[in-house]
Amino acid sequence: MNFELTEEQRAFAESANAFAASELAPHAAQWDREQIFPREAIGKAGELGFCGLYAPERIGGLALPRLDATLVFEQMAAVDPSTTAFITIHNMATWMLGSWGRPAVCERWGEDLTSGRKLASYCLTEPGAGSDAGNLKTRAELQGHEYVINGGKAFISGAGATDVLVLMARTGGGGAGGISAFALPADAPGISYGKKEHKMGWNSQPTRTIAFDNVRIPADHLLGEEGEGFRIAMKGLDGGRINIATCSVGAAQGALDAARRYLHERQQFGKPLASFQALQFKLADMATELVAARQMVRLAASKLDAGHADASTYCAMAKRFATDAGFNVCNDALQLHGGYGYLAEFPLERLVRDTRVHQILEGTNEIMRLIVARKLLESDVDIR
């Protein structure tokens, strides 16, 4: 078992670190404050291959292992978890389109998505189907050579600002087996968007509801076959859980680095804060939790890359642990900054706000516990 990164992996991480320092760090606070969606910066990420990291080569993707993708996302999330999280969602939607799209769909959008010239949103959640995704109501009816889509989606990242929607809709009966996946233009007639939600964090990416009123798309915009949608969605979510866990790890690293600097700079009672043992212990605990979370995420990514039978269980465990630990590290770093951590001049309050939602999306952490517990109780899964 080798925990060391290869030269190629280090090169990817260093490239992402340089990009984050030049294109994200100088603007992240402004994007958050003014709720700006930074399409230009995301496009520059696409020029480096970061918008199609694990998408197949047939649509211009790099086809990297998920483990390698985590190295890129972690570096960017250390300075801007919100923008990085959107880039991970775009990567997931692009991978789905490239993996299950028919030639016409891949030719129409594939290279534009992997290059970052166009962006994609992932549309699964509905007002009445959050954790219970298999109960979604949006419907797609085949009429001749077209599907007609009616229904609505909620909490869609990038909605109203992206070009392509990867949509889960019901084509058959009830339950997961009746769900299919589609790719459709975000500006198709009959699509309308709700108001931009005002959120606690993730302010550099818009979140809106989407309504579909007799939206017509060609039948060849179906991804995979009818009834495969839920399976495609769950495969996407395995990677999505690793992605959002990685964003938590990255944010925690950024927060830890800021806390280390501050403990050396700030003085109280005539001594730097770094000289107080209680604060040293807190910093040590933060670092330990961060390293544990990072290794758990990389283990889950390795399981997914290897096609391990229990990869979904590891992804759920990693998502639960890393998003909890990542938020706690950011929150502890804010505490170490005292009152200054609460000010917008320092990055801590933004990192805390941006990482809080990671415990909710891609399946709440309560659902992650349910997935792990059921697997442990219903099978002979070996977690040694």
The answer to whether 284 and 259 have CB atoms below 8 angstroms apart is no
CA-to-CA distance for 123 and 117, rounded, in angstroms?
20
**In the 3-class helix/strand/coil scheme, how is 64-107 assigned residue by residue?**
CCHHHHHHHHHHHHCCCHHHHHHHHHHHHHHHHHHHHCCHHHHH
Residue with tokens 């933004």: 350
CA-to-CA distance for 198 and 250, rounded, in angstroms?
24
Known catalytic membership, residue 74: no
CA-to-CA distance for 365 and 373, rounded, in angstroms?
12
The answer to whether 169 and 125 have CB atoms below 8 angstroms apart is no
CA-nearest of 318, 177, 323, 359 to 250 is: 323
Strand partners, 152: 211
Cα separation of the two ends of the chain? 14
180 by DSSP, 3-state: which? strand
CA-to-CA distance for 327 and 349, rounded, in angstroms?
11
How many C-beta neighbours within 10 Å does residue 254 have? Answer: 26
Radius of gyration of the chain (CA): 21
Q: Which of 23, 74, 126, 362 is catalytic?
A: 362
Tell me which residues are annotated as active site: 362
